[in-house]
Structure 1
Amino acid sequence: MSKKVLPVALSNRHIHLCQEDIEKLFGVGHELTKVKDLSQPGQYACEEKVDLVGPKNIIKGVRVLGPARPKTQVEISIADGFILGLKPPVRDSGDIAGSPEFKIVGPKGEVEMEEGIIAAARHIHMHTSDAEAFGVVDKQRVKIRTGGERAITFENVLVRAHETYALEMHIDVDEGNAAGLKNGEMVELITE
């Protein structure tokens, strides 16, 4: 049986904003400015950046990703949490309930957030045809084995299968560095 391999991408800290918060931070009627497309269809990095303010410190210049979302969500690493003085829960994207309070500062205003900052759980985006080829289904948890000098096996990796997704595993920079991974390297999906 051949190995099931896919590329990995290391996700740096970033923010997804709802339109209401875009306008509070950048001005009424502001539209996000696309800089470059990301690997997932329809997603893009924006010119806009904001500062995150925690009880202990500030992280400046956090990249906004587009398009606008229904709810504002910040994705940081555990190490970023130490800098800010926060303990971001490890969660699947969109699961922000009960996450720490923080503040977002933009050039035209700021937003006090009661929740919305997480350390994104490791996950795999894949097209439904990839899921079929890999023998997995949406929301299944799998393992991922890396190679090289710092080879490790990631457990509890969420499969997110949808007809609009492109095949790629997402982990944060902390996890990628611990495994000695770089963007685009191939990893092996394991179902047991």
Structure 2
Amino acid sequence: MAKNHVHLSPEEASRLQVEQGDGLIVQTLGERPVIFADVVARIHEHFSLDLHLDTDEANAAQLRTGDVVRLIGKNGCITEALRG
């Protein structure tokens, strides 16, 4: 099973001040928000901003493809909305 991770392009990573391998915090939106801690940043020129979660965890958080979640920076500040 792959570890939860966020794909980013080098430009997105630079804008968000994220480096390869950084541990990020991602929060779902809605009535019952769920926080995923230590989501790994994966940066590559062929990637675009996208969250990848284990299917069971995504189902437990009631996430579906295309849902918006919140990426919280390493310092705890909300930095960007993502589509999962």
Range into which the TM-score falls when normalised by the shorter chain: 0.7 to 0.9
Partner deviation per Cα, 1:10-38 (whole Å, 9 max, x = no partner): xxxxxxxxxxxxxxxxxxxxxxxxxxxxx
Secondary structure at 1:120 match in 2: coil
Matched, 1:148 2:30: yes
Superposed CA RMSD: 0.9
Give distance in 2, aligned partners of 1:130 and 1:136.
8
Give distance in 2, aligned partners of 1:184 and 1:177.
13
Q: Which runs of 5+ in 1 are unaligned?
A: 1-118
Per the alignment, residue 176 of structure 1 pairs with 58
Per the alignment, residue 157 of structure 1 pairs with 39
Matched, 1:122 2:4: yes
Q: What number of residue pairs does the alignment pair up?
A: 74
Residue 176 of structure 1, CA deviation? 0.6
Give distance in 2, aligned partners of 1:189 and 1:141.
11
Residue 162 of structure 1, CA deviation? 1.2
Residue 126 of structure 1, CA deviation? 0.7
> Aligned residues: percent identity?
36
Per the alignment, residue 109 of structure 1 pairs with none
Give distance in 2, aligned partners of 1:127 and 1:120.
19
C-alpha contact (below 8 Å) 1:149/1:180 kept by paired residues: no
Give distance in 2, aligned partners of 1:128 and 1:171.
21
Secondary structure at 1:187 match in 2: strand
Secondary structure at 2:14 match in 1: helix
Match of 2:62, as an amino acid? G
Give distance in 1, aligned partners of 2:54 and 2:39.
13
Secondary structure at 2:53 match in 1: strand
C-alpha contact (below 8 Å) 1:139/1:159 kept by paired residues: yes
C-alpha contact (below 8 Å) 1:150/1:178 kept by paired residues: no
Secondary structure at 1:169 match in 2: strand
Aligned pairs for 1:20-169 (under 5 A) are 119-169=1-51
Higher RCO (CA < 8 A, seq sep 6+): 2
